[in-house]
Structure 1
Amino acid sequence: MTDVNKAMELLEVAQKWLEPFDVKDPFSKLRLEGYLSLKPDYRYGALVLLKVEGEATSQRILATPKLYYPFDRTGAFHFPSVKQIDIYEKIDGTNIFAYQFKDTLGKSHVTYKLRLHPVLRNGKWGSFLDMWNEMLIRYPQISQLPVLNGCSLSFELYGARNSHLMVYDTPLDCALLFGLDSDGRCRSIDEIDRLGVPAPTHLGRLTAGEDPVAAYGRIREKLQATIQTQDDDKLSGHEGAVWYVTTANMERVLFKCKPESVEAIHWKGGINKAAVMATCWNLLETEDFLEYGKLERLLLEEYSQTDIDAFREHIDDCMANVNEELNFRNLVLEAYDKIGIKLASDKAAVMRKLASQFPKALMKKVFALISRYGDI
């Protein structure tokens, strides 16, 4: 049986959903080979590890699943039979997944991965490995958690230094979201020994007999009330919530809930420029350059091929806009580094020197970029 056929069998997916990998794990220093799943369901980002240091193995590692809304595009809700629902704040950052694998001698190793990459890496537009190492220094107990709990763990790495749609005052932090058993069952925060590692805010609990649809509307309104638009088209407040639904059959189903303003960007009304821009930034977590084929693959998780093809000209514009934004960010950070003064030590002097290099109308943006991405 070929390697790709082994991966197809272990994950029960067609070959089109599999992407080969051959990487060096930065934590164990071991070479890992296998396939990563792009199937946008419970197998999203899952790995089939077929070689460790060139020696054959066969390990299936499920990862952070794709989350969906509890309703379809017509607005019809499809909640399962509910025993209990725990609702936690949804944090807008980079997903970091902690998992264990075994070498060919049977020794277990804990490592971490990005959503669509088998390990952690520093990219051109985000030093995710370096930032996560900061978290491991701040919370050294993180590396113990997969072994202690006997499951993989999903984290969010967020803050001003890892900015996405939502803006946070915190420079950089992480939160433990949930655990994932080898069979794909999610464990909520209250089922995990966190050893003091931060977790998202618990927003509420529903029990059998309560109306989840009505509660969903109430939560969404509360989330919307926190949203404020920032100068650079970003938002502050709560990005949304994750609903951990325990069904009457004791299964665990996860749904996302977003305030109307955030949902409108990502989903409502079909494909749109804001949604494409957000997808471009997501792609740059694991890629150094925007490539239409890879962007299209991510867009197909939410939109039809017909919609994407009809929107192609606008998608090209979005890619150009993101590239322009990245180039401007580089110009700003290079100019800032040449000054030789830290923003935190003399903000006035830094901005005075930069004012001679950038238009006055862009100085707020210059300051925001340095605050988020510069060495301050």
Structure 2
Amino acid sequence: MEKTTKRSSTSSSIILIRNTLPQNYGGGETYQLTLAQVLSDHHYHSIIMSSSSQLLEDAKKKKISAKKAPFLKNQNWSGLRNLLLPLYALWQRYLYFWYLHQFKRLNPKTVIIESRDDWIAATLAAKKLNIQTLWLDHMDFRSWVLQNVEQKYKNAIGKKILHLTKYADRVIFISDFERNYFENLIKKTPIKNLTNLVTIKNGAIDSFSNYQNQVIEKDSFIYLGRLEEYKGIKELISAFSEVAPDFPTATLHIYGTGSLANYCEERQTSQIIYHGFTDKPLEKIAAAETFVLVSHIEGLSLSLIDAAMLGKPIIATNIDGNPEVVQHQKNGILVPIKDVDSIVKALRKMLMNKELRIQYGQASRKKYLQDFNFPRTIKEQLIPIIEGK
């Protein structure tokens, strides 16, 4: 395949592709909504293509154009299942023609892709029509898409995706950590180096003024995100359960859905409250004193950025993209992963020192304004790429 130059187009449409399991809804999905909102301020018309039911529903609520995209749910091509890869090739061929039809019909200026199968099919369709193609990675490359690609007989699909990275006009990473991972990985492959990589950090729209008069619950902590093992939910509940008897006014509020929803519900007490899904995440974060995220693996968490934007002190694990938002003992406390004792100490420290919480909260707000104001980031970094400047 020959690399093509970007076509000239007067279209103001931008297609945002984020395909995942229909029940999935997290930072990668909400990012699309925020990006679409910011792009609309620059007179671009965004069209989200996804199979995430909640993303499509929320796009409709926010009056953002959206279309359900094809998604193959059951995919496991490891081991002997490699023999079935010809079936995957047929799926990719169908997906390619589906995107080719959509792109011809909608005539977008740019396509921004963030999902495995679409990095292949949608990229090939976009390049066929000379449409500017941008790839976006939160942590999909690291967490599963490119695992073991440096090994000779493993992850054939990942190798194909890695080969196609050179056809993207830009490969955008939302954190320094993810980009560093990718650059170190490709050094172990025949590709060695790419010149189309760029970091455009995740961020949030500044809604601080909307919640300045929010009543804050005294001694309250909040976790808001997916309820999965890798999010450290079990360690958080265990640590808070140890602290709670000594601080009768302390509460832990848990928001989200996932495989550990029943686990959270079964461990509810007068001080541990499981709320399920909320469509008002900023309001819930604003009402709590301290935000907690003790995950085992993380990209650049939008919830952490939202907490910083709202001026909250933070407890987070010292992994991956978290230290890009949380500076230890400046705007929060960083703890090792899976370390209940360290989480207990951090919870106690926050509960026992109101002045420290205020100091950390003010520093969080300053950190957001300095590094994570999303509209400014998009204006200064993404718009020039879209416009070819």
Q: TM-score range by the shorter chain?
A: under 0.3
**Greater fraction of residues in helix:** 2
TM-score (norm 1): 0.26
TM-score (norm 2): 0.25
**Greater fraction of residues in strand:** 1
